[in-house]
Amino acid sequence: MKNVDLVIIGGGPAGLAAAVAARKNGVQDILILERDSELGGILNQCIHNGFGLHTFKEELTGPEYAARFIAQVQELGIEYKLNTMVLDLAADKTVTAMNKSDGLFQLHPKAVILAMGCRERPRGALNIPGYRPAGIFTAGTAQRLVNMEGYLPGRRVVILGSGDIGLIMARRMTLEGAKVLCVAELMPYSGGLKRNIVQCLDDFDIPLKLSHTVVDIQGKERVTGITIAQVENGKPIPGTEEHYDCDTLLLSCGLLPENELSRAAGVALSPITGGPSVNESLETNIPGVFAAGNVLHVHDLVDYVSEEAGAAGEHAAAYILKGEHAAGRTLPVRCENGVRYTVPTAIRPDCAGDTVTLRFRVGGVYKNKKIAVYLGDTCIFSRRRPVLAPGEMETVRLKADLLRGAGDAVTVTLEEG
């Protein structure tokens, strides 16, 4: 197997954008390893519109959005291998992978970009009591069956979790002829985008039941019914049970960055995001191993995945072509007052370009707040936000010059606005 400078694990939106950016920044030998039979990742099954408003200033479907990046990859002559599974990433960046035509092979790239995306939290991890029949699907699995294979996974549907895929699937199942009885959400707020609640639930008169969860699943072979109940402090309230006769339960209860390879390589992971802890260059604790997209932290919009992955591609190119940065000072990034996490978790001002992008999510719904960033005790950024919600990712761009002042940590916080 010919050796390459950069291996990108995953050919979804993150991997594609990273590859394009790395090539444009001078890396010649790039190889994308994709486990599915097509490039594009999960976008291929996201046939609804709403993608690309930021990146292309127009509204595209998932496959259309992916196609723009796939076209660039092909025009730039970037190599990729499909149906190829990476089995192992070692701490020395040796990549072990296999497919049917090349068999088992190893690569020793100078840099690796982790772009494996995320997976859905399954029923088992939710500890929903009841039977374990057919008819329980994660929303993404149902989406694949419907949108890519034309199969209807059920006719009367209850959806647990109001993450974006769940909302999108409420509409899709309705359009394909199923009856969606309700969407139950454990939290007192939705985990999805406001626009999806309006366009996917309200427009189809599908009730959203906040502070509700599934407490029982009936049916020994196929689902025959679901019981939901209201919750208080995470516990179902006895007497509030409601029964639905249905044949299907869809789950949209959170996405988990897929970091088994990262963990095996010794990449340090954040307990909050489940993704790697990275610095301003999106580089993990292993020099030359970068991460971007949903493997790093779950994004709300693919546009931000592409942007972040583009940055990872640039930084990987700099690493390959110029070698490691002389690090200088490292500022840890802390979060307070409702800010759940930040990416990155450390900033080296001397390694940053003109701006440093901070991305984060909040832990609850907040109104009339101010996002504030401090270097030591000095406020270096603030912006009013009328509403902040866990379903929407926040982005802050800091001028790198501002980070060169006094102070040994950066703090991101919410203040009364």
Partner 1 sequence: MHDIIIIGAGVSGCACARELSRYNADILVLEKEEDVCCGTSKANSAIVHAGYDAANGSLMAQLNVEGSRRMPALAKELDFAYDQCGSLVVCLSEDDRPALQKLYENGVANGVEGLRIVERDELVTMEPNIADTAVAALWAPTGGIVCPFGLTYALAENAAKNGVQFRFDTKVTGLHPLPGGGWQVDTDRGSCQARCIVNAAGVYADTLHNLADAAHPMKITARRGDYFLLDHTAGQHVRHTVFQLPGKYGKGVLVTPTVHGNLLVGPTAIDVDDKEATATTAAGLDEVRTKSGLAVKDIPLRQTITSFAGLRAHEARHDFFIGEIAPGFVDCAAIESPGLSSAPAIGAMVAGIVRDSLQLKENPAFDPIRKGILDPKALDFAARAELIKQNPAYGQIICRCESVTEGEIIDAIHRTPGARSLDGVKRRTRAGMGRCQAGFCSPRVMEILARELGVAQSEITKSGGDSKIIVGTNKDAF
Residues that bind partner 1 (CB under 8 A): 35, 83, 85, 87, 96, 98-105, 119-120, 122-125, 127, 129-134, 137-138, 140-141, 144-146, 149-155, 176-178, 215-218, 220-222, 236, 247, 260
Which CB atom, from 128 or from 339, has the smaller least distance to partner 1?
128
Contacts of 284 (CB under 8 A, 6+ apart): 114, 262, 267, 268, 276, 277, 278, 290, 291
Closest separation in Å from C-beta 384 to partner 1: 37
Q: What is the rounded CA–CA span in Å between residue 32 and residue 295?
A: 15
| CB nearer partner 1, residue 77 or residue 150 | 150
Alpha carbons 231 and 234: distance in angstroms, whole number: 6
Name residues whose C-beta falls within 8 Å of residue 295's C-beta, 6 or more positions apart in sequence. 10, 14, 114, 115, 116, 117, 118, 257, 258, 259, 262, 275, 276
Cα-based torsion angle of the residue sequence 126, 129, 133, 137 in order, rounded to the nearest 10 degrees = -20
Q: Of 106 and 285, which has the nearer Cβ to partner 1?
A: 106
**Nearest approach, Cβ of residue 128 and partner 1 (Å):** 8
Nearer CB in complex with partner 1: 155/367:
155
Give whichever of 11 and 349 is closer to partner 1, judged by the CB atom. Answer: 11
Alpha-carbon distance of 130 to 47, in angstroms, equals 33
Q: In the complex with partner 1, which residue's Cβ is closer, 143 or 342?
A: 143
**Least distance between partner 1 and beta carbon 415 (Å):** 32
Min dist CB 215 to partner 1, Å, is 7
CA distance 259 to 256: 9
Helices 62-75/13-24 angle, 10° precision: 30
Task: Name the minimum Å distance from CB 131 to partner 1.
Answer: 5
Q: In the bound complex, what is the minimum distance in angstroms from residue 134's beta carbon to partner 1?
A: 4
Q: Which residues contact 388 (CB under 8 A, 6 or more apart)?
A: 338, 362, 365, 366, 367, 369, 371, 394, 414
CB-wise, 152 or 321, nearer to partner 1?
152
Q: State the minimum distance, in angstroms, from the CB of residue 130 to partner 1.
A: 5
Which of 102, 139, 97, 100 is closest to 10 using CA atoms? 97
Tokens of 206: 């599908």
In the bound complex, what is the minimum distance in angstroms from residue 200's beta carbon to partner 1?
17
Query: How far is residue 24's CA from residue 16's CA, in Å, rounded to a whole number?
Result: 12
Output the smallest distance, CB 118 to partner 1, in A: 11
Give the whole-angstrom CA distance, residue 28 versus residue 5: 8
Instruction: Give the sheet arrangement for strand 30-33, strand by strand.
Output: 79-81, 30-33, 6-9, 111-114, 289-291
Question: Of 56 and 131, which CB lies nearer to partner 1 in the complex structure?
Answer: 131
Residue closer to partner 1, measured from CB, 177 or 386:
177
Structure tokens at 253: 């209860």
Give the Cα separation of 287 and 82 in Å (integer).
27
